[in-house]
Amino acid sequence: MIYPNQFGLFSIFGGKYLPELMQPIINNLFLIYLFIIKKKIIKLEILKFFSSFVGRPTPIYYCKNTSNFLKGSKIFLKREDLNFTGAHKINNSIGQVIIAKLLNKKRIICETGAGMHGLAVTCSCSLLNLTSIVYIGEKDFLRQNINIKKIKLLGGKIFIIPKGSLKESMNEAIKDWCNNIKNSYYLIGTTSGPHPYPIIVRDFQSIIGYEIYQQINFNFYKKKYLLASIGGGSNSMGFFFPFINTNVNLLGIESGGNNYINTSSSIKYGKIGILHGTYSYILQNNFGNIKNTFSISAGLDYPGIGPELSFYNFKNRILFYSIFNNEILYSFKFFSKIEGIIPAFETSHSLFFAIKLSFFLKYNDLLIVNMSGRGEKDL
């Protein structure tokens, strides 16, 4: 397995570009994380919550109707939508809230786009008697209002950033963290941000990929593909990480928005730069200013991508493709009608590409899509 160096770098990607005030905090977090994660009693506590609270392991589901209709490869879904709260985000939030409690932090700060991370953090905080502070952009507040109602019901405190989306909510969350270091913990929901957050999120989410090893025999299939949607990278890195050193093909599907101007495809249209404390591919102009993004999916409406994903793109270990809004709506409706499963807009990116790819494959080939969340929030 590949891990970052002592500076949190995957080759040139990653790092911890933060003010000097925050450097001791972030360095201490990494040391404490390494100490905590090796303790058997902590692992058992996390696994207990995974089993009794989250509902893991999540099943692998064979899309028989879709596979027969397309007459291509066999298509499977890793059903992360069946987790409690309806997405993969709860895997990471439970783990990090346990770390925060061990650090004696009473106040948990997070950002959210589609609302699933905010919901997962609020649930985890309620479970462990902590205060949750959720920052969300006005744009996402309006289009993901059902999750906002759930967060309020669970006792979360919501702060709305005028005219903002996921980038702006992350900006405000970091400001809050800087002003309340002593009693607060910033719980990032994606594999981006300063080191060690990308590897903390990846490690907690990698339960997704490790379960797949136990659920399906890859030796039965000739060609093997794993597909996951890409925003910052939490669902994809958890899905891909256990397979990095195998011969399984890994495909990351970004949000193309409407076109190359109104897009959220950081790999395809971005340049290398610094955003939210990490060096990675980001959407920026020639002067280094961050571009406005656009995606029908709130969870992928972000102008950057995690540093480890950038590294694997640089090494050609993960191949990246863009899917556009009209294509997402097609797969959203198609899978709802033919499989009886309503996918999140985020997952609909990967599902559409799976449909396209299946035409070029045979029945003894395998496609597994990470069903990162359910789509009631997007109706």
**And the tokens for 264?**
């959220």
Provide the angle, in degrees to the nearest 10, between the axes of the packed helices 23-37 and 40-49. 90
For 184-232, the pLDDT digits (tens) are: 999 999 999 999 999 999 999 999 999 998 999 999 999 999 999 999 9
* CA 237/CA 13 separation, integer angstroms: 15
Q: Is 252 helix (H, G, I), strand (E, B) or coil?
A: strand
For residues 78-102, give the mean pLDDT. 96
pLDDT of 2 higher than 80: no
For 229-263, the pLDDT digits (tens) are: 999 999 999 999 999 999 999 999 999 988 878 89
Question: What rounded mean pLDDT belongs to the chain?
Answer: 94
For 341-352, the pLDDT digits (tens) are: 999 999 999 999
Q: Among 347, 321, 311, which residue's Cα sits nearest to residue 254?
A: 321
**Residue 79 or residue 37, greater confidence:** 79
Give the start-to-end residue ranges of the domains of the chain: 10-49+89-202, 57-86+206-378
Active site residues: 63, 88
Query: CB of 234 within 8 A of CB of 92?
Result: yes
Q: What number of other Cβ atoms are within 10 A of residue 91's Cβ?
A: 28
The pLDDT of residue 224: 96
The pLDDT of residue 1: 55
CATH fold for domain 10-49+89-202: Rossmann fold (3.40.50)
The pLDDT of residue 370: 98
For 292-323, the pLDDT digits (tens) are: 898 999 889 899 999 999 999 999 999 999 99
Same topology, domains 10-49+89-202 and 57-86+206-378? Answer is yes
Structurally, what CATH architecture does the domain formed by 57-86+206-378 represent? Answer: 3-Layer(aba) Sandwich (3.40)
Measured between alpha carbons, how far apart are the two ends of the chain, in Å?
39
Q: pTM here?
A: 0.95
